[in-house]
Structure 1
């Protein structure tokens, strides 16, 4: 099973590489905001600035993983490299909500503890996890709804 995950990860990397090359060849930039393809997921986590911003991100992308975190949270800090690599290597957009700065958004997302991860597919919340998760679990959830 580990081989199939590695194969899938490599397939996604190659696909993203091809998309970036095509974008550059067509006069575009590597900035995901300049991409012509609607729903193209950025390769870095998106820092959510408010409820309207979160709504836009969820509406714009087919699959969005929302990470409700706190700077003081040890498990959140441990998950940071995983969250960043999921943004770079999967077709999902990754959004980060600082629960201290955006308490109302965190409450609406049902974040009673941190980290809380909420997966949206087609604009609807479809999965919610609380606590540190391993990369394989999160990739599996993303692939299941992609």
Structure 2
């Protein structure tokens, strides 16, 4: 078990190094420390790579919609275009947690079924929905907590 955790940590470190290198080569990029000051939110969903990454995303943004999904889940697949649109068109950051890869995170988020959506405002979970949701419902939740 410890080998897989160490392997996961190493993989995340290597991924972070590549991302930082790309940002440096491209003249900067997103800095989590100034996200709230400038209101910057990514236009695409953020693929969560571990608990620390989720904590960082939640801390960096005022409102975060976390989508707990599985690749084999039909309702999750149906919601994917809407989740991407919410990331692009709202002030919320959207994070995606693959429940098969990150079972511990999914459990911590209370995801007993997929899709489970958890809305964070100011670093705290404020809403949780289970099952497919329509866009108007999710936009309303985001606006209510923005």
TM range (shorter): 0.7 to 0.9
- Give SS of 1:85's match: helix
Q: CA deviation at 1:98?
A: 0.0
CA–CA separation in structure 2 for the residues paired with 1:52 and 1:113: 23
Written as runs of structure 1 = structure 2, the 5 A alignment for 1:74-85 is 74-85=74-85
Q: Kindly report the root-mean-square deviation, in angstroms, between the aligned alpha carbons of the 2 structures.
A: 1.8
Written as runs of structure 1 = structure 2, the 5 A alignment for 1:57-76 is 57-76=57-76
- Give SS of 2:57's match: helix
Residue 24 of structure 1 corresponds to which residue in structure 2?
Answer: none
What is the total number of aligned residue pairs between the two structures? Answer: 117
User: Are 2:63 and 2:91, in contact at CA under 8 Å, matched by a contact in 1?
Assistant: yes
Gaps of 5+ in 2: 1-25
TM-score, L = length of structure 2: 0.76
Residue 35 of structure 2 corresponds to which residue in structure 1?
Answer: 38
Question: What are the superposed Cα offsets for residues 57-89 of structure 1, whole Å, 9 maximum, x if unpaired?
Answer: 000000000000000000000000000000000
Gaps of 5+ in 1: 1-28
- Give SS of 1:38's match: helix
TM-score, L = length of structure 1: 0.76
